[in-house]
Each structure stands twice: as structure tokens, then as C-alpha cells.
Amino acid sequence: MHPVILITGATRGIGFAAATQLATRGAQVIIASRDGKRAADATAQIGSGVSSVALDITEQASVAAAAKQIEQQYGQLDVLANNSAILLDHYQSLLDLKPEVLLETLNTNVVGTLRVCQAFAPLLAKSHAPRIINVSSSAGQLDGEPQAWAPAYCISKTALNMLTQQLTAALPEVIVNSMCPGWCQTEMGGSDAPRTPDEGAETLTWLALEAPPELRGKFVKDLMVIPW
């Protein structure tokens, strides 16, 4: 049976690369985007084994409607990949950061992810091997030297890693992990990044299909567990 995999923010970049890889591997992939037309266009680019859904992770009604659509279409969800995120502050100093920018970043990257997990938990419960993958970043690591780059984004990814821990505790039947794709050539990462979106997506694909079930509550990069 082909696993049903939902990827948020999957119309471009790492999400789109992962959707392509997973569809090639035989998964039934659902591309989600707040822009339904963009999701449909991305689906058409990949072809068979892919469908689309309009899903704005910052809007409860949109998330609920998407969950209802997927339930009607597939009856369950095997993998939820939370890839949607925003980066608003880039090289801004923390001391110049507007609190409103931090709140907006947290609302999407952390609260939005929680909202999606809550809405899709009942569909994941119908799977024999449910998984949640949170696309995080080493920018959120507490391990290592502090970095001044994109403070709101970094704070949100640290919080996302803790959300991964909390989901692991709250959903003992679900394999939950977060991952760092590395610095990739995406709209967010820019053209100077050393990795392609395909390289960044490899860990997501592995976590979705191949990672051992005992790997849970961890932070993964290049198929290896790394410090938080």
C-alpha cells in the first residue's frame, strides 16, 4: 500500500524536491500551499502520484478544511511533513527586531505547525506507522556557538525543536522527528547556498520512508542524529 504523505509549503524549494522524490518512490504525495492554484500547478509538474490541497497553516478554518478534504479523499494520513516556514528578519540585529516580526514568525513556524499537527492527529491515528517530520534548522540549535543571523527565525526553530519533543510525548504512537536540510539554494536560502533542494530533501524522504521506528524525538541532518 502506498503511504499517503502531506507536505506543507511544497510548491517550491525543499518541499517540492521532497514531493518529487517521494512520488518517484511510489508514495501518494499531497502538496499543500496557502495558494491552491500554486499547489495545483506544482502537482501538474510532478505528474502521477501527487495531489494538492489549499492549506494556510496560520488559519484554523483553512487547516480544518484541508483535513476534511484529505479524510474524504484518502481516509488516513501516514506522514505529515511540516515544511511551511517564513524568514522575515535575515541579517537584522536582535536589538532592532520589532516584536511584531517575532510574533508573526512564531505564529507561522511554531503555532502554525502545532495547529496542523492537532488537526491531522486523528488521520495519523488511522495509519499503521504514522510519522511527523518537522523541517527545522541548525540555526535553532542551542548546541554550539551563538549566532546573530536572523534572530526571529532562529528563535522559532529552537521552539520548533521543543515542539518536536512535546509531540513525541503527546503522540506515543507517532514517530516524530525534526530535521535540518542544510543551507540550500531556495528562495529562502538564496543562490549562494552550497546545497541543492534535492540534497536538502534527502533527509525528509528518508525520515518519511526508511528511518527506523526507534528513531523518535530526534534532530536529524544528513540521515544522522545531531545535537539540539
Per annotation, catalytic residue among 153, 167, 180, 211: 153
Cα–Cα distance, 44 to 42 (Å, whole number): 5
C-alpha cell at position 72: 474524504
Within the chain, residue ranges assigned H as helices are 13-24, 36-46, 60-74, 99-106, 113-124, 151-170, 197-209
153 is catalytic: yes
Cα(174)–Cα(75) distance, integer angstroms: 17
Query: 131-143 burial, b for 16+ CB within 10 Å, e for fewer?
Result: bbbbbbbbbbbee
Catalytic amino acids?
Answer: 153
